[in-house]
Structure 1
Amino acid sequence: MKVLHLNSAPTWRGGEQQLVYLVHELTKLGVENYVICRTGSPLAEYLHQHRIPFSTVPFRGSTDLRSAWKIRKITKSWQANIVHMHTAKAHALAVYAHVLGMRVPLILSRKIDFVLRTNTLTRWKYNYSGIQRIVCVSGKVQEVVRAILNTPQKAVVVHDGIDPARFQHPGPYRWLRSTYGIPKDRILIGNIAALAPHKDYFTFLDTAKHLLDQGVDAQFFIMGEGELQDELRAYCRQLGIQERVVFAGFINNLPEALPELDVFLMTSEEEGLGSSILDAFCVEVPVVATAAGGIPELVEHGQTGLLAPVKDAAALAHQVQRILQEEGLRQRLISKAHEHLLTRFTTQQLAANTLAYYQESR
């Protein structure tokens, strides 16, 4: 089987990591993979470095017919059996390419739980006859997508997965403390996410303020980049906690940095699944998160982590305090979370479940 993947992202985020996980695992299963991505993107650089076959197109917009025509041409010349669309612009352009004569079954991935528009164009793109399956990252995303479909059963769930081998770092884990000069007895609390509105880092900072006011000696790490960085820095200063918050940017050495955290704190107001939580599960860092979107499919409250309502900084701070103070709770959460990861959320399961939908769509 030959699968052509489309990804229009200009940056590297969770969706791009999941795409390369999928490509590597599908290759092991005997699938030939080819990727079309955005010119000059981090994904293009990764594919080049790892010798994964790829081409680039500009992806100038969702009506970029020149890119759509090139996608059609590559699909035909490479003789793809399936075209898998991983982003919104890829979805639009692949549908246009299909209209232009690209007669290959389409699979669409949907990883965000934003409510879809109900205008005519959106309804047409999601109900386009060439799309065989819409692979949703969580049950919550599936619920959102099914609301717009004429044939709701087209939307199925395949959870993200991670490769535990990626996080096999020998330790010791001192990179964050040594890089940022953090005392060895200070608690480290952090999140890994783009600095985007739906990640709600403002509530993360409010939670930090609550904990510091409660006397918790902690340093807070914001690991990611995005358009809200200046606003978040200003809000830090407004709260008077700028000395206790580190804006670490994009972290290249995640397997070395993440295990150093004492608590992983995700405060999203909308979230398709929250695959960084799986990274925390893997390196045995306990998780406190909001009950947003698909997060409860990962974080089972009191079992694999602790949950709090969206935008409730006081409740989030309380759950963090429980991990810091309740004897035995931390280890119980870590143990259950690691088991949960290995039984349901590996890259092998991601690839096997996705391949099953490819095979039935041919």
Structure 2
Amino acid sequence: MHILHVSAVTNWGGGEYHIENLCSELLTSNPEIKNTVLCVEDSPFKERLSKTKIQYITAPLRIKIDLRYVFKLGKICKKHQISLIHIHDPSALQLTIIADKIYNLPPFVLSKKTSFPIKDRKKTLFKYNYSKIKKILCVSNETKNVAKKAIVDKNKLLTVYHGTNLKTKSTKTPFLIRKKYNIPNHKTIVGHIGNHIKAKHLETFINVVDRIINIEKHTNFIFIQIGTFSERTDALKVKVNQLNLQEHLIFMGYTPQASNFIPQFDIALMTSQSEGLPQFIYESMYHKTPIVSTDVGGISELITHEVNGFLAPIHDADTLTAHLLKLNNSTNLKAQFISKSYKILLAQFTTENMARETVKIYKSVLKDA
């Protein structure tokens, strides 16, 4: 069995981390299965893969539909006798369908990693209901439920939680946050990892900082945000300056091995307005950092409110603020959230479980092909 993992993402995010985790796990658990990743040349993902044992091939993608990428995909399938194509993002899906029209490719498995509704447009519905897609692997039950509205054959939809890779964990970082930014030990570090995209809604993150610092007057907090900058970043920085929060909120930008910094956070804060199931939640659970989050996507499938974390409605900075303050003032709550989250993670949400379930699906698809 030779699986081609297709990624057409030009930055680094949770989806690419999933591909790396899956392929790394399969190298150990199922060495008889060969995995090759097709990724965009000169991308952060390519740089990341170059430091692993994962086999990868790059292709140019300068425009949305770059035929050089399409031709490369088709030629790889023929040359390497690919058994099955695992598509990991919407752009990759479109490019793979175009390649199929030219090369008649092997069957597809598609990963649906967000809870964004599939748009009710003819071309979009055609893509997601394409006949070569044999199974759609949803990152959470919520993602599956959202996808049901657009997928004709509901039997194609399966939930496969991504989980975290216990074999690759590290706390090694090039610097310590407290030391680099001169943060006293008595100050609470609240951290977030996520690229500057609409789904993460960092406007809410800033609103929480504003309430804690300017309204509640709790200046014993420092907020750290790690993630790739985008066209949204300038507006976020302007808002920070307008609220005089420059000394209280630090944007670190893209940072390699970002999850290694999580143990340096006292509290993990998610403010997303849309999610599948963010890797940041898994990683915080593993690194024993208590979590406060908006209740979106599949997050409530990992975090039960007031049992192993705090949840709040989207855009609700007031409730998130109250949760942060309550958690920061309770040693017992922190210990409870950390202990319960860690046990849940090890029992259900590891890459070992993810790989096992994914291999079953690969085999069933190829058996029926």
Note closer, same or farther for the CA distance 1:267–1:170 as it changes in structure 2 (3 Å cut): closer
What is the CA distance between 1:261 and its match in structure 2? 1.0
TM-score by length of 2: 0.93
Aligned-residue Cα RMSD (Å) equals 1.8
Q: Equivalent residue for 1:12?
A: 12
Q: Which residue of 2 aligns with 1:185?
A: 186
Matched residues, number: 361
Deviations 1:271-297 (A, max 9, x none): 111110111111111000001112111
Normalised TM-score (structure 1): 0.95
Q: Aligned partners of 2:242, 2:8: CA distance in 1, in Å?
A: 37
1:279 and 2:283 equivalent? yes
Report whether the alignment pairs 1:222 with 2:225: yes
How far apart, in 2, do the equivalents of 1:306 and 1:286 lie?
A: 9
Q: Which residue of structure 2 lines up, in the alignment, with residue 239 of structure 1?
A: 243
User: Corresponding residue for 1:306?
Assistant: 310
Which residue of structure 2 aligns with residue 207 of structure 1? 208
Larger deviation: 53-62 or 304-313? 53-62
Offset at 1:60?
Answer: 4.0
What letter corresponds to residue 221 of structure 2 in structure 1? A
In 1: Cα distance, 2:348 partner to 2:197 partner: 28
Task: Choose which of 54, 57, 68 in structure 2 pairs with 1:55.
Answer: 57
Q: Is the CA contact (8 Å cut-off) linking 1:206 and 1:313 kept in structure 2?
A: yes
Code of the aligned partner of 1:359? K
Aligned to 1:108: 110
Match of 1:349 in 2: 353
Do 2:171 and 2:263's aligned partners in 1 also have CA atoms closer than 8 Å?
A: no
- 1:290-349: CA deviation from partner (whole Å, max 9, x where unpaired): 011121112111122110110010100111112112351110010000011111111111
CA shift for structure 1 position 164? 2.8
For the 8 Å contact 1:61–1:89, the answer to whether it is kept is no
Post-superposition shift, 1:220? 0.5
Percent identity (aligned): 31
* C-alpha contact 1:174 1:260 (8 A) present in aligned 2: no
Q: Deviations over 1:49-82 (max 9, x none)?
A: 3243222112345543442232111111101111
Q: How far did 1:251 drift? A: 2.5
Mapped contact 1:308–1:316 kept (Cα < 8 A): yes
Q: Tell me how far apart the structure 2 counterparts of residues 140 and 115 of structure 1 sit (CA, whole Å).
A: 11
**Could you list the runs of 5+ residues in structure 1 that have no partner in the other structure?**
none
Match of 1:332, SS state, is: helix
Equivalent position of 1:135 in the other structure = 137
1:15-63: CA deviations, max 9, x gaps?
A: 1111011011112212101111111112222223324322211234554
Q: Which runs of 5+ in 2 are unaligned?
A: none
For the residue of structure 1 that corresponds to 2:117, the secondary structure is coil
2:126 counterpart residue number: 124
Asked whether the 8 Å contact 1:127–1:149 carries over to 2, the reply is yes
Matched residues in 2 for 1:206 and 1:67: separation? 41
Structure 2 contact 39–59 (Cα < 8 Å) conserved: yes
Report the secondary structure of 1:132's partner residue: strand
Helix, strand or coil for the counterpart of 1:183? coil
